[in-house]
Structure formats: C-alpha cells, structure tokens
Structure 1
Amino acid sequence: MCSCAQCCTTLPYAEATWSALLDNLLHVHLHKHMHTELTSAEACEALGVHPSTLSRWVQNGRIIPARKLPGLRGPFLFPPSEIKRLKAELARDARTAGRSRKAASA
C-alpha cells in the first residue's frame, strides 16, 4: 500500500470482496504513477498557464502527455521531464521576445 494518507485506506483482505481487491490494485497502480507524473492542473500551475492553453499545446504537439486518465474529462498525466523541457523553452522564448522589443525601441 502506498504511504499517501489522503487517499489510501487499509483494506482488510480477509473481509474484502474480489471487486474491492481489484479496485484496490487499480488504485495502487494509478497512485504509483500519479506520484511520478503531473496532472493537467499541476502542469498548468508549474508552467503558469491556463488549462485551455495547456490543452491547445497538447493538441498542437507542443507538449506530449505520458497518457490520459479514463473518462471524457480525465486529466492528462505529464512526465516531469516534459514540464521541465517546456518550462525552459518558455523561458528562452521570453528572453528572445525581450531582446526583440529592446532592439525595436532602439
């Protein structure tokens, strides 16, 4: 069982049904990945962008999610390396834009 006190509870296996056991195994599997990958909301916060911007970047291929959680509105999960790469790219773009503005005003 994972060490996350927010969403995990101890399941007494002697009294558990097969369905509950399968649900627990799925939870542990997803929970393991969620600790190493960032959700869409976490990615937006890390990059300082609106969720619609992040969705547009995914559609345009600017950022590649590791996968998407189930459901119509299931969030994308992003590897930290992808967030770090895009954050560096955004910083370069901001520096380049700053230089362009300074040259135009000179």
Structure 2
Amino acid sequence: MNFNVLHLLLSSLLLCLLLQKPAHAIKKSYIVYLGAHSHGPNSSDFEAESATNSHYELLGSHVGSLEKAKESTFYSYNRYINGFAAMHEEEETQDIAS
C-alpha cells in the first residue's frame, strides 16, 4: 500500500512540474529593419548617433522605458540601413511588428 501512495505522490509531483509555465519568458535576438536612413550611407557621427537614439526611443515606447531599450539593444544599424538588433520576448516582438 505504501508503494501506491508513493507512486501517486510522485506522479502528481511530476504532473505539476510539467504543467508549470516558465517563470521567465525566453528572449531571442531579433533584427528590426526600418528601411533606409534619410541621411544616406555617408552620415556624420551626429546623424548616426541620432539614428541610434531614435531606435532606443522606438523600442522604449514598446518595452516601457528608454533604459530597458538600451539594455536589450546590442547593435544599431545607423549607417547603411536603418534598424537595430535586440533581445526580445515574443510578445514584445509582435507589438513592435504591429
């Protein structure tokens, strides 16, 4: 009889573990392409920095703050194309895409 109770408890524990959602959402790297820059490929440092800041502002409006946007962005395409690469959760990515 003890075996049946132990088996039931272990089975219940295993089922609970399998049904739990992860505590942290998985982030993946994404590239957000925004088209061409208005300043062209031969931009000044000021224009490149302005493009990067606009990427932070765009992303910040979707993730809640400029600070979070800067933390998640690991590359800003600010010379030849307009875009950025960042780590996002799937929900954030869908929000940005819309």
> TM-score band, normalised by the shorter chain?
under 0.3
Q: Hey, which of these two has a bigger chunk of strand by percent?
A: 2
Higher relative contact order, chain-length normalized (CA < 8 Å, sep 6+): 2
TM-score (structure 1 length as normaliser): 0.25
Give the number of the structure whose alpha-carbon radius of gyration is greater: 2
Q: Hey, which of these two has a bigger chunk of helix by percent?
A: 1
TM-score (structure 2 length as normaliser): 0.26
